[in-house]
Structure 1
Amino acid sequence: MKIHPEFQGRREREYQPVRNDNATPPAPLADTTPVEDDALLDGYSRTVNAVVNRVAPSVVNIRVESDGNRGGGGSGFLIARDGFILTNSHVVHQGRKFEVTLHDARVFPAQLIGEDPDTDLAVLRIDAPSLQHVRLADSGTIRVGQIAVAIGSPFGFQQTVTSGIVSALGRSMRAESGRLMDDIIQTDAALNPGNSGGPLVNSAGEVIGVNTAVILPAQGICFAIASNTAQFVAAWLIKEGRIRRSAIGVAGQNVPLHPRVVRFHRLPQDRGVQIAELDAHSPAARAGLRQGDIIVGFKGHAIRNIDDLHKRLVASEIGVPSPIMVLRQTEKVFAMVIPEELQRPPK
């Protein structure tokens, strides 16, 4: 018997099959609705992606030529629309020719504006149109555990991104010049050779540090120079091409103090800096200091080691009479020293 087409669908809907609990349920139909790419990212991934989109156009690859040969290179990032690039001093040190590759593959020659080996920072400049620069954050607001994203060119692979967190704050490390660098940020965002000079960025896309070093063979222990330090140094390098510091003309070594001397003079520390060498024409010599004296105070601040003394000998002390306290054998001696500008040997 033929069923009229008008009733075919109705008969099928009214028909109720016998239930079989052992039957295998039909597989669900695949959802063919298009999914936007952003929907595939979780919150953390979206944050990192947004940071990269905002900062990556400002990150550059730096190639350095020394004495006619390729000497290596690293990373850097634009800090101003007029072409100023911040990077590490050890990336550009002793370089004779510099070449910068932008994120869009444009290549420009660069000029070294200045470098400061004591903070491992340097500034280059390129003459190029349509430049996008980053914003430096206040590193004093950084908190341990916040997101940290590193962008750079490890092993020459441009625009490489790694992410992690701020692991610790206030670390200290030794610059290649031998001077102690303070206020260093520790992060577990992976860094490799070539990342040096690239930015360490927060979740708002602001630079919180300049990537500078890793500890090998350890994993997840990497360091960056805090943005507040970088901003201060970069401003002086752009203005004068160098950082001015003061000096008193001594070479010293850290030595322990005798407990009886510490108690007798009521000193707040048990160590000081013994003058091992003294330039006869130095500010220290003119102040009456002698070889063998132990420096224990400068302008009311305790001096426990050479790094304490370096911290006090800043540019503002140049030409300023400053009280210094030394131990001469068991006697406490006060003198007035006038620091001079530190003169570095030519490259």
Structure 2
Amino acid sequence: MRIPLTPDPCEGVRRPVWRVQTEQATNAEVAQVQLEQLLADTDHRHSAGTARPTEAEALDAYSQAVIRAVELIGPSVVSVGIAKRAPEELQRRGLPELRGAGSGVIIAPDGYVLTNSHVVRSAERIELHLQDGRMLPANIVGDDPHSDLALLRVLDSGLPAAELGDSSRLRVGQLVVAVGNPLGFQATVTAGVISALGRTLRTERGRLIENVIQTDAPLNPGNSGGPLVDSRGQVIGINTAVIAGSQGICFAIPVNAAKWVVSALIREGRVRRAYLGIMGQTVSLDRRLAVRHRIEAPTAVRVAEVHAGTAAERAGIRPGDLLVILGDSPIGSLDDLQLTLGRHRIGEPLVVQLIRNGEGITIEVRPTELPD
């Protein structure tokens, strides 16, 4: 701001200093008053509970997120009741069949339901209990024990299908809700967060499921096969396992993996996986061999047995060979071998690098289908 200068008639000299100091003081006083008023208004709003969220409000927001997710997914969650023939010893005691229950989720309005393989394995009769009270018989479209997933079908339409999400977009720490319906009543609900991504889970068949979701949302056996959903109620996984003796370590099959399995089950009734035909073990790799052949992994897979008539035998793989690279993937363990094969197409050529008697050998193999 430009300050007007007034000459002193006595001395004929301009003295503007006192006017500047006065105006600066006035501006400072106004600014202080405005600041005090602003702080007073802020304190008033906080005291009225309209700006700063309290602990109770934050907790209520968390509860509302869980409630909304449950309301969205609830109608799609079903109880899966099964009956199977009892062993002969129990039949002689007057118990002709055994019953069990798990959970499932409707994934298509025309009657497709996804659950765990171990829930319906060996079942002779399956019945689904819907949230609206209906009981519908179901058939197994396909079963994949290697991923612990099974696809069921009921002869009905217009069912409340869940919305499937995208498990590739998940983040550690994200809110998740596990929903089940083990007894055919209202859904049972637990909530937590994603503890880790990319875990590996070994199934009852001994195979590995990669990129499994680890969560601290508590599960019980009756919730197996139920959905794991995000705050929007979208299915991001299928609850499958709890680590025995652990506290809060639970796992779910990622929905993207489930989509691939479902497509295969609808198309062929089964999931086809690549197979070499060897038995082996993980062994330490001699450091001199590793340096000589430029192998970074400290371990490799030693072939213990080659099954007759398999792709490995036809390709010339022998007992004692050290498998170090399959395709573009280093093979440091049997788990590495299995996971790499699981991503490869049946019948397509695959380059195998191995060490035999200290010498590096490269061969080509065409994996066949893994037998049941």
Return the TM-score normalized by structure 1: 0.84
Contact 1:244–1:315 (Cα < 8 Å) also in 2: no
Aligned to 2:47: none
Cα separation, 2, equivalents of 1:303 and 1:63: 42
Deviation at 1:278, TM superposition (A): 0.8
Cα separation, 2, equivalents of 1:116 and 1:342: 12
SS for the counterpart of 2:245 is coil
Q: Pick the structure with more helix per residue.
A: 2
SS for the counterpart of 1:313 is helix
Cα separation, 1, equivalents of 2:186 and 2:97: 21
Which segments of 5 or more consecutive residues in structure 2 lack a partner in the other structure? Answer: 1-56, 86-95
Cα separation, 1, equivalents of 2:216 and 2:343: 34
Aligned to 2:139: 111
Tell me which structure has the larger Cα radius of gyration: 2
Residues 101-127 of structure 1, C-alpha deviations (whole Å, 9 max, x = no match): 001121111000111111111100111
Given the alignment of the two structures, is residue 59 of structure 1 paired with residue 88 of structure 2, yes or no?
no
Distance 1:315 1:44, change over 3 A: closer
Deviation at 1:92, TM superposition (A): 1.1
1:167 to 192, 195, 200: 195
SS for the counterpart of 1:285 is helix
Return the TM-score normalized by structure 2: 0.78
Contact 2:237–2:252 (Cα < 8 Å) also in 1: yes
The alignment's C-alpha RMSD in Å is 1.7
Residues 217-253 of structure 1, C-alpha deviations (whole Å, 9 max, x = no match): 3222111111111111111111211111111111111
Aligned length: 305
Deviation at 1:267, TM superposition (A): 0.7
Residues 241-281 of structure 1, C-alpha deviations (whole Å, 9 max, x = no match): 11111111111111111111111111121211111111232
Given the alignment of the two structures, is residue 299 of structure 1 paired with residue 317 of structure 2, yes or no?
no
Cα separation, 1, equivalents of 2:77 and 2:225: 10
SS for the counterpart of 1:183 is strand
Given the alignment of the two structures, is residue 321 of structure 1 paired with residue 349 of structure 2, yes or no?
yes
Identity %: 48
SS for the counterpart of 1:217 is coil
Cα separation, 2, equivalents of 1:197 and 1:104: 19
Contact 2:115–2:151 (Cα < 8 Å) also in 1: yes
Cα separation, 1, equivalents of 2:149 and 2:329: 28
SS for the counterpart of 1:194 is helix
Deviation at 1:52, TM superposition (A): 1.2
Which segments of 5 or more consecutive residues in structure 1 lack a partner in the other structure? Answer: 1-38
Contact 1:154–1:191 (Cα < 8 Å) also in 2: no
Deviation at 1:130, TM superposition (A): 3.5
Cα separation, 2, equivalents of 1:316 and 1:270: 24
Structure 1 stretches of 4+ moved >6 Å: none
